[in-house]
């Protein structure tokens, strides 16, 4: 270049101040229409996937809590009888039940509570002594090592013939079946949403890349190695996918936080009780946040790998043209 | 440096565009490649640039037969060749400076090591005041000069130029030609594909004339 410099100096007019060069721009343009569209698509899909993940986790937790709550308790029902001292029988039943290993606590449902239980059917101001109403003892049990129900049932019927032990098996079995179905449906929805997310992200990335094919070609022809070209596009698409998936994931987390806040504020109101009964608690928990972080990581990985494979395939196609002169689709006229 | 032996090329089942080409491009040589439109000049340049393989015949490039070169070694070989495309192929989001520096950048060089050379070359091709301008704002001639500068920046062993003076005025064409001659004097073999007879008349150089797929060489 020295000789050229000498020649240049002889032909150049008087020297002007050196022009400033702008900071070097990235090889892949940082922002264009297809890149912004891809970021939006990723944000929407991340939001939907995180929302589905949170909702399915919530439904699973609610189903598990239904099952757990009902299987944590057993009920001893004592029918009224002329020869029976009901209050004594209730105490005896409770004491007998608590002698069994696997029981934790026993509560006698008092007259007022029993009246409240019947209030929806028999109305207000009910005198429980005037009606032959069965009375209840609620016994809390250890779910992990429950007591021997058959032995307890036999002991109870021997001591108090009017007593009937309900271990809620019928309800538990139904709820287990319902909870499993709900969890299965939820998992199915999650799989579908994640599949849709994967396909959308892959095709949107390929679409965004197709607008950059000329960059791949130029880089390839100025001597860039395939790995270098792929890494430039990987970096670019990793940034896009992280921005999009973080926005979508954080929006989903914000949705759950707001719903949880509303639920906390509106506690004991009919609307909140109804929502809690239907959906459970809107709290995210560690699993929820891990799920969102996992979804973001999956999307980022998918986008990056798709970008890499698409660039490598584009370069492969360019080289195929080289080795196959019959492929004229990318060539100008000779 | 480059050796063609009985090279022929056809696209698909069509007629042969190039037939029985046998020639050498010696090191430090300077030649014009000319011929009527559609004679196959661009195709021949693509064969020289390793972006096409012949249908028949043998091409040896830098002492290696190109049919035996693995794909992942092609970029290294292409780095020894500079090419000026007829359609320039500049990247629209990069400035003139960044486009010209691109071959050095993809080789992993630090900007500080090449900045002065790039600015000097841009001044030489008359783009010293246009270093921060994006290609869509450049005129056809300016784009062409930027494309030439990009091909020259890494001092290739072989320079291929497809109609390099097609969009510039005669004084600039002479200036670019003197740049090619200077580069040739420094050791680069140059192949210029052109229709411009006045340009060819300015230099006593080898002429390769393509006509109906056949090549005649006048030393």
pLDDT value, residue A334: 40
B101 contacts in chain A (CB < 8 Å): 24
Identify the weakest region by mean pLDDT among A42-51, B35-44, B95-104.
B35-44
- Dist. CA B196–CA B165, nearest whole Å: 8
B55 contacts in chain A (CB < 8 Å): 325
Indicate if the pLDDT at residue B60 is higher than 90. yes
Tokens describing residue A243: 């921005």
* Tens-place pLDDT, residues B20-36: 999 999 999 999 999 98
Between β-strands A135-141 and B214-218, what pairing exists: parallel, antiparallel or unpaired?
unpaired
State which H helix or E strand residue A7 sits in.
helix A2-11
Give me chain A's average pLDDT, please.
Answer: 81
| Greatest C-alpha distance within chain B | 51
Q: pLDDT confidence of A271, banded at 50, 70, 90? A: low
* Tens-place pLDDT, residues B174-183: 888 888 898 8
Give B218→chain A minimum CA distance, Å: 22
A217 contacts in chain B (CB < 8 Å): 89
* Tens-place pLDDT, residues A72-82: 888 999 998 88
pLDDT value, residue B4: 94
Indicate if the pLDDT at residue B100 is higher than 90. yes
Write out residues 37-96 of B within 8 Å (CB-CB) of A. Answer: 38, 40-43, 46, 49-55, 71-72, 74-76, 78-79, 83, 85-87, 89-91, 93-95
pLDDT value, residue A14: 52
* Tens-place pLDDT, residues A295-309: 899 989 988 999 899
The model carries a pTM of: 0.71
The verdict on a CB contact (< 8 Å) between A8 and B124 is: yes
- B192/A210: higher pLDDT: B192
Q: What is the DSSP string of B72-103?
A: GGHHHHHTTEEEE-TT----TTS-HHHHHHHH
The CA-based dihedral angle spanning residues B40, B29, B68, A221, taken in that order and rounded to the nearest 10 degrees: -70
CB contact at 8 A, A311 and A213: no
Write out residues 191-210 of B within 8 Å (CB-CB) of A. Answer: none
Write out residues 26-55 of A within 8 Å (CB-CB) of B. Answer: 27, 29
Q: Which residue of A has its CA nearest to B182?
A: A4
- Dist. CA A115–CA A204, nearest whole Å: 63
State which H helix or E strand residue A166 sits in.
strand A163-166
Indicate if the pLDDT at residue A263 is higher than 90. no
Give A306→chain B minimum CA distance, Å: 21
pLDDT value, residue A189: 87
Q: Which of these, A150, A188, A183, lies nearest to A67 by C-alpha position?
A: A183
Give the strands of the sheet with B2-10, arranged side by side. Answer: B16-25, B2-10, B56-61, B64-65
pLDDT value, residue B7: 93
Whether A217 and chain B come into contact, CB under 8 Å, resolves to yes
Give me chain B's average pLDDT, please.
Answer: 90
CB contact at 8 A, B213 and B47: no
Indicate if the pLDDT at residue A1 is higher than 50. no
Indicate if the pLDDT at residue A283 is higher than 70. no
Q: pLDDT confidence of A243, banded at 50, 70, 90? A: very high
pLDDT value, residue A9: 44
The verdict on a CB contact (< 8 Å) between B91 and A7 is: no
B103 contacts in chain A (CB < 8 Å): 222-223
Nearest by CB to A322, from B43, B50, B155: name it.
B50
Identify the weakest region by mean pLDDT among A108-117, A275-284, B56-65.
A275-284
B102 contacts in chain A (CB < 8 Å): 27, 218-219, 222
Nearest by CB to A7, from B42, B95, B182: name it.
B182
Rounded to two decimals, the ipTM of the complex is 0.86
Give B206→chain A minimum CA distance, Å: 22
pLDDT value, residue A178: 80
pLDDT value, residue A282: 66
* Tens-place pLDDT, residues B70-89: 888 888 888 999 999 888 89
Indicate if the pLDDT at residue B213 is higher than 50. yes
Indicate if the pLDDT at residue A226 is higher than 60. yes
Indicate if the pLDDT at residue A4 is higher than 60. no
Give B96→chain A minimum CA distance, Å: 10
Whether B137 and chain A come into contact, CB under 8 Å, resolves to no
């Amino acid at each position: 270049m020295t000789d050229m410099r000498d020649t240049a100096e002889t032909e150049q007019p008087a020297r002007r101040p050196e022009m400033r060069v702008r900071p070097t721009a990235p090889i892949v343009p940082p922002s264009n229409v297809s890149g912004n569209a891809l970021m939006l698509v990723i944000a929407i899909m991340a939001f939907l996937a995180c929302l589905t993940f949170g909702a399915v986790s919530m439904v699973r937790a609610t189903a598990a809590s239904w099952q757990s709550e009902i299987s944590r308790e057993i009920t001893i029902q004592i029918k009224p009888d002329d020869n029976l001292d009901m209050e004594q029988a209730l105490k005896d039943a409770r004491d007998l039940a608590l002698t069994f290993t696997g029981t934790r606590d026993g509560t006698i449902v008092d007259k007022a509570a029993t009246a409240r239980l019947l209030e929806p059917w028999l109305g207000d101001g009910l005198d429980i002594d005037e009606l032959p109403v069965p009375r209840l003892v609620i016994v809390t049990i250890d779910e992990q090592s429950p007591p021997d129900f058959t032995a307890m049932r036999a002991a109870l019927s021997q001591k108090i013939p009017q007593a009937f032990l309900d271990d809620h098996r019928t309800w538990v079995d139904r709820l287990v079946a319902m909870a499993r179905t709900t969890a299965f449906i939820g998992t199915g929805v999650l799989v579908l949403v994640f599949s849709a997310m994967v396909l959308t992200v892959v095709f949107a990335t390929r679409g965004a890349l197709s607008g950059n094919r000329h960059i791949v070609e130029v880089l390839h022809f100025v001597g860039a190695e395939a790995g270098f070209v792929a890494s430039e596009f990987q970096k670019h698409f990793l940034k896009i996918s992280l921005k999009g998936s973080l926005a979508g994931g954080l929006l989903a987390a914000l949705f759950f936080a707001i719903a949880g806040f509303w639920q906390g504020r509106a506690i004991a109101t009919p609307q909140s009780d109804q929502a809690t009964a239907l959906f459970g608690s809107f709290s995210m928990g560690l699993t929820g946040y891990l799920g969102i972080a996992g979804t973001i990581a999956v999307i980022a990985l998918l986008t990056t790998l798709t970008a890499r494979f698409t660039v490598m395939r584009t370069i492969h196609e360019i080289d195929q043209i080289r080795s196959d002169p019959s492929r004229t689709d990318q060539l100008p006229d000779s | 440096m480059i050796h063609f032996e009985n090279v022929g090329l056809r696209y698909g089942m069509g007629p042969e565009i190039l037939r029985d080409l046998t020639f050498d491009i010696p090191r430090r040589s300077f030649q014009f490649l000319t011929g009527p439109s559609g004679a196959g000049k661009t195709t021949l340049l693509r064969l020289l640039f390793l972006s096409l393989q012949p249908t028949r015949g043998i091409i040896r490039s830098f002492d290696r037969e190109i049919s035996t070169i693995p794909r992942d070694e092609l970029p290294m070989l292409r780095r020894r060749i500079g090419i000026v495309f007829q359609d320039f192929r500049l990247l629209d989001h990069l400035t003139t400076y960044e486009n010209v520096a691109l071959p050095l950048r993809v080789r992993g060089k630090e900007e500080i090591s090449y900045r002065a050379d790039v600015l000097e070359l841009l001044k030489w091709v008359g783009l010293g005041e246009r270093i921060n301008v994006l290609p869509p704002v450049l005129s056809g001639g300016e784009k062409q000069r930027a494309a030439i500068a990009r091909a020259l920046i890494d001092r290739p062993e072989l320079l291929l130029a497809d109609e390099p003076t097609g969009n510039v005025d005669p004084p600039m064409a002479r200036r670019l030609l003197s740049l090619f001659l200077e580069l040739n004097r420094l050791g680069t073999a140059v192949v210029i594909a052109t229709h411009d007879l006045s340009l060819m008349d300015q230099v006593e150089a080898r002429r390769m004339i393509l006509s109906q797929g056949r090549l005649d060489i006048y030393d």
